[in-house]
Amino acid sequence: MPASTLPFTMVEYERRLTKVRAAMQEWEVDVLFVEDPSNMAWLTGYDGWSFYVHQGVLVFLDEDPIWWGRLQDANGAIRTCWMDDDRASGYADYFVQAKDCHPMEDLAAILTRKGYANKRIGVELDNYYFSAKAFLTLQKELPNANFVDATALVNWQRGVKSDEEILFMRRAARISEKIIDGILERIEPGVKKHELVAEIYADAVRGVDDSWGDYPAIVPLLPSGSDAAAPHLTWSWTSFEKGEATFFEISGCYRRYHAPFCRTVFLGKPPQHLVDAEKALVDGLHAGLDAARPGNCAGDVSRALHAELAKGGIERSARCGYPIGISYPPDWGERTISFRDNDNTELQAGMTFHFMPGLWMKDWGMEITESILVREGAAAECLCNRPRKMFVKD
């Protein structure tokens, strides 16, 4: 496609490819097959809702990547990838969801033709969309290949963001703020949840100024009252009620980049246990932000948080954050680092996380979170700028 309509400069795509090739050499991979749509987009610019069929990008050490997928989607690859048109390779439609053949037979033929049938082939063994059957088919078709588990090889290269990427995330953050502002304005006892979600979507996609909204990798989550004990319930036709807390987990999305943001809203006068939890949680966020500095490790953030929560008598076992950036459904996380006590990954300037210490207790829940940027010489920067609290609408 014309470089002028790519989301990023060619310098940026070259930076990414160089990083991935260095990792391939370190991981002893001769050719890498990437099926994760986020990794595909990050490396090549490919953007389309075609990940419900097998597709991927082949990364070589010594030639441009090949986009590989369903024949009809090659037209999409030609329109969105930076590589030359002849680097899009489509497989015949009869492979799609067929019982007697598998698209990986076509991929194996390409790998054989290019001389990799007996080489070290990296595959993302624990990634959405690269199914068990896909792997078994590749193994059968390429019996002399040496398959290397390259799960998250590309994801790890995505951790430290470039300035171009941070700009996109700041745009996503403006959209996240707009969504939360719209929620606070519209939520009232008696408003039906799906009606508010309709407005959330409209705000998310309209975007802010010239930051138009893309679809976030996760749908809005907004459980109320005792249902807020369950972090991943979606909406229904029920109404918001006086005397209930609802947490809103949303994200603006600008050209596939996210800035997730959660706030809790109480309608009426909140009970003391929620006020106490809010204080512990806000103190914990503050402590965690201060710990999220270059040179510290991921576990330092969760320990700082948990120390403050403990003062409020709150114990939680789930991880409290994960890296964010470019993403496709079903997850806006990068699936590398976790903010949990035993994760010793060193934090670096330019890393971005959703610092997400959701409280999901037996019969209540609360989410107050921040999308953060790790930077030199200061506590982490919050990408969104809205009061860090439980909002009360009485």
Four-CA torsion 192, 194, 197, 199, nearest 10 degrees? -70
Question: Cβ of residue 387: shortest distance to a copy of itself, in angstroms?
Answer: 26
Question: Between residues 330 and 387, which has the closer beta carbon with respect to a copy of itself?
Answer: 330
Question: Between residues 362 and 394, which has the closer beta carbon with respect to a copy of itself?
Answer: 362
The edge-to-edge listing of strands for the beta sheet with 245-254 is: 245-254, 257-267, 390-393
Amino acid at 37: P
Q: Which of 16, 7, 26 is nearest to 157 (CA)?
A: 16
Question: Between residues 116 and 364, which has the closer beta carbon with respect to a copy of itself?
Answer: 364
Four-CA torsion 267, 270, 271, 273, nearest 10 degrees? 110
Helix (H, G, I), strand (E, B) or coil at 289: helix
Question: Cβ of residue 208: shortest distance to a copy of itself, in angstroms?
Answer: 11
Separation CA 272–CA 201 (nearest Å):
33
Question: Is the distance from CB of 334 to CB of 298 less than 8 angstroms?
Answer: no
Q: Which of 266, 268, 257, 39 is nearest to 169 (CA)?
A: 257
Question: Between residues 94 and 269, which has the closer beta carbon with respect to a copy of itself?
Answer: 94
Diameter over CA atoms, the chain:
69
Angle at 297 (CA atoms; ends 293, 302), nearest 5 degrees:
90
Question: Between residues 213 and 284, which has the closer beta carbon with respect to a copy of itself?
Answer: 213
Question: Cβ of residue 183: shortest distance to a copy of itself, in angstroms?
Answer: 14
Question: Cβ of residue 76: shortest distance to a copy of itself, in angstroms?
Answer: 4
Segment 75-79 long-range contacts (CB within 8 Å, at least 24 positions apart): 76/46, 76/47, 76/48, 76/50, 77/44, 77/46, 77/48, 78/1, 79/1
Question: Between residues 7 and 288, which has the closer beta carbon with respect to a copy of itself?
Answer: 7
Question: Is the distance from CB of 201 to CB of 220 less than 8 angstroms?
Answer: yes
Tokens, residue 264: 């809790």
Half-sphere exposure of 45 (CA within 13 A, CB side): 24
Question: Between residues 15 and 192, which has the closer beta carbon with respect to a copy of itself?
Answer: 192
Question: Cβ of residue 383: shortest distance to a copy of itself, in angstroms?
Answer: 21
Question: Between residues 305 and 382, which has the closer beta carbon with respect to a copy of itself?
Answer: 305
Question: Between residues 15 and 255, which has the closer beta carbon with respect to a copy of itself?
Answer: 255
Amino acid at 232: H
Question: Cβ of residue 319: shortest distance to a copy of itself, in angstroms?
Answer: 6
Question: Cβ of residue 195: shortest distance to a copy of itself, in angstroms?
Answer: 6
Question: Between residues 293 and 371, which has the closer beta carbon with respect to a copy of itself?
Answer: 371
Tokens, residue 355: 């610092």
Block residue for tokens 């009360």: 392
Question: Cβ of residue 316: shortest distance to a copy of itself, in angstroms?
Answer: 9
Question: Cβ of residue 196: shortest distance to a copy of itself, in angstroms?
Answer: 9
Helix (H, G, I), strand (E, B) or coil at 111: helix
Question: Cβ of residue 362: shortest distance to a copy of itself, in angstroms?
Answer: 8
